[in-house]
Amino acid sequence: MNEQDNLKDSLGFHLGITYRKLVNLFQQRIKAYDITTEQWSVLYQVYQEDGVIQKTIAERLYKDKPTITRLLAQLESKQLIHRTAGIRDKRSVTVRVTPAGAEIIHQTYPLERQLMSDVKTEIGESSYEELLMLLRRVHQLVQDQSDRE
């Protein structure tokens, strides 16, 4: 058996391929807004909770602190967010969305929703919901095993 045959039943392999293709497709749809999908996910978190702290963004997106710091710096340079040191703890960074950042979310969120709607239409609503449930179970299983190691 060659390696390709071994990967045909690999969950990680198929998740990776699917993830990259979904990200690439969404990136194509938001390219005109001069924002990457990674930046978009951070901006969306800030838009959802204006005044969120950097640590919370990292936890929600399962990203490390240096990655979030880099993404926030990129968003700030584009004037889509504004960062300030925390009032009680200067090490804590509070992040707020700017009007320009909110406008990008208003214009691009429907593109993300349409992409997910296209997937739902293709595989069916119940299959979509079942897929999400199964992915959450796999995530929890992997998280539990990781916590034990």
Nearest one of 73, 64, 75 to 40, comparing CA atoms: 75
What tens digit of pLDDT does each residue of 86-140 get? 777 767 889 999 999 999 999 999 999 999 999 999 999 999 999 999 999 999 9
> What is the predicted pLDDT for the residue at 85?
85
List of domains in the chain: 38-148 (1.10.10.10)
What pLDDT score does 51 carry?
A: 92
Q: Report residue 2's pLDDT band, with 50, 70 and 90 as the boundaries.
A: low
pLDDT score of 4 more than 60: no
Q: How far apart are CA 95 and CA 112, in angstroms?
A: 23
Query: Where does the pLDDT of residue 14 fall: very low under 50, low under 70, confident under 90, or very high at 90 and above?
Result: very high
Q: Which of 66, 64, 86 is nearest to 74 (CA)?
A: 66
Amino acid at 131: L
At 34-82, the pLDDT tens digits run 999 999 999 999 999 999 999 999 999 999 999 999 999 999 999 999 9
The per-residue pLDDT for 3 is 56
SS3 state at 98: coil
| Alpha helices (H) along 31-124 | 37-48, 54-61, 65-77, 99-123
